[in-house]
Amino acid sequence: MLNRNEITRRGFVAGTASVVAGSTGIRRSEQAFGFQSPSERPTIGVIGCGLRWDKRVMVPKANYGLGKQFPRYGDVVAVCDVDQNRLKRAGEIVKEWSTVPPMQCGDYRKVIDDKSIDVVHIVTPDHWHAKIAIEAMLSGKDVYCEKPMTLTIGEGKLIREVQQKTGAVFQVGTQQRSTVQFIKAVAMIRAGRLGKIKKVVCGIDSSPESPRLSPVTPPKNLDWDRWLGPAPKTDYRYQSGANNIMKEWSNGHYEFRWWYDFSGGKLTDWGAHHVDIATWGMGKTETGPVTVDPVMVEHPTEFEVGKPVRRDCYNTATRFLINATYADGMELEIRHDTDNGILFEGTDGRIFVNRGRLTGKPVEDLRLNPLSDGALERVYKGQPLSDHVENFFMALSARREPVSDVASHHRALTTCHLAGIAARLGESVRWDPVNEMVIGNSRAQGLVDRPKRAGFGIEM
């Protein structure tokens, strides 16, 4: 049995160049994390301290933020951010929680290299997720990574490989997997209440556009080059006056998600949630579609060979209807113009589920014909239902797979990425879900992964 910190980068590379599909990998130590005894509580390093972590970094009286859940189970001992204002505020917030100020840094490597830190919470923009997650796992750490897990399909394959090899406990922040109405919807499908699933529709809304944004000098508190990291070198763009959570248009904080350099737009922003649940309910977490067809896609700019022509405005798809078809004929539709949520259509009925409701005749029928005892728990990998953060820490305690694991989320997110590739090229994409390769289209295959900027490659 290897100790967690005995799994090194060098050992990983020397041990294998790739992991055979289905391998259970190397099990790490069976250290049981208790959540009450100070000597047993895991230590946590937070990388990225923006709105998703705690909205109070910007709005002092706000009460929104995932970060506040983590101190219930472990001790936040380090915070990292390339924005000095957010970093300082994050340190103050953590001190409020524990009275002990955390280590503060602008370079995530200080968190990764600190052997006293057990868990890394990744809350950065999408283009940083894979690099940090992989290096954290190779350093012996467990990972909670906000969605979407990756910027590309290639990154997902690599994260899966490293997770299998190291045995890291890795929870993706798709919290809908721990929300009761989504679990119940999947349980109903498993119980045959809809018959055979024929079609699923994911409504994920349209995305915003921006005016043309001129380059400006980055604010002094923001290390723009480090924020860019693995992404291509580009100017910082900003204009105030937008009607959004940031009250601004930019290619930086929060608004990064509308630029293909850093994200996949709405297809991976909300798609990472709803396509994930759709894939779970369809029983397709070990495979993928065979064709992805961009029936209708609108972008704010023209594209050439999958790349936006203009670089001074938001460029991800704003409106879309994209169909994914599986080998057995099952269809998944991703569109902007229906209710936000997931519609499952089967031979015997249909149900709709989103964060506010679970509806449909099969749901009404539960009053007279409820699901069997334990049906929801069986869907939830045989674990007691809990919130998403608690599920992660319980998985740490038992050294088991959490509910939103790397391999299944990678399959769901692959569908989102393929939808983005098809949208950018404006043509159908044929996919081999066994070998995870595009068939007969070198342009599309070229978008399955992206090179990292010099100096920001993934350290193996």
Predicted confidence band at 181 (pLDDT cuts at 50, 70, 90)? very high
Residue ranges of E strands in 19-158: 43-47, 75-80, 103-105, 119-122, 142-145
C-alpha 97/C-alpha 102 separation (Å) is 11
C-alpha 392/C-alpha 401 separation (Å) is 9
Taking 50 as the threshold, does the pLDDT of residue 26 lie above it? no
Q: How much is the pLDDT for 82?
A: 98
- The closest of 231, 235, 257, 237 to 315, measured between CA atoms, is 257
Q: Which two tokens stand for residue 177?
A: 């997997």
C-alpha 158/C-alpha 436 separation (Å) is 12
- List beta partners, residue 344: 200, 351
Q: How much is the pLDDT for 19?
A: 36
- The closest of 156, 155, 207 to 412, measured between CA atoms, is 156
Taking 80 as the threshold, does the pLDDT of residue 15 lie above it? no
Q: How much is the pLDDT for 29?
A: 33
C-alpha 345/C-alpha 326 separation (Å) is 15
Residue type at 37 in one-letter notation: S
Q: How much is the pLDDT for 460?
A: 87
Q: How much is the pLDDT for 35?
A: 58
Q: State pLDDT tens for residues 322-348.
A: 999 999 999 999 999 999 999 999 999
Taking 70 as the threshold, does the pLDDT of residue 16 lie above it? no
**95-119: average pLDDT:** 97
**Looking at the domain that runs over 4-176, which CATH code has it been given?**
3.40.50.720
Q: Which two tokens stand for residue 150?
A: 């990756």
Residue type at 99 in one-letter notation: T
Burial of 24 (0-12, 13-18, 19+ CB in 10 A): exposed
Q: How many CB atoms lie within 10 A of CB 69?
A: 14
Residue ranges of E strands in 365-419: none
**HSE-up (13 A, CA, CB side) for residue 372:** 8
Q: How much is the pLDDT for 65?
A: 80
Taking 70 as the threshold, does the pLDDT of residue 128 lie above it? yes
C-alpha 224/C-alpha 233 separation (Å) is 10
Q: Which two tokens stand for residue 264?
A: 């996949």
Q: State pLDDT tens for residues 393-426.
A: 999 999 999 999 999 999 999 999 999 999 999 9
Q: State pLDDT tens for residues 244-300.
A: 989 999 999 999 999 999 999 999 999 999 999 999 999 999 999 999 999 999 999
Q: How much is the pLDDT for 64?
A: 66
Distance, C-alpha 341 to centroid of its chain? 18
Q: Which two tokens stand for residue 142?
A: 């467990």
124 vs 11, more confident: 124
144 vs 23, more confident: 144
Q: State pLDDT tens for residues 52-73.
A: 999 888 887 777 689 999 999 9
Taking 50 as the threshold, does the pLDDT of residue 14 lie above it? no
Cis peptide before 300 (omega within 30 of 0): no
Domain spans in the chain, listed from the N-terminal domain onward:
4-176
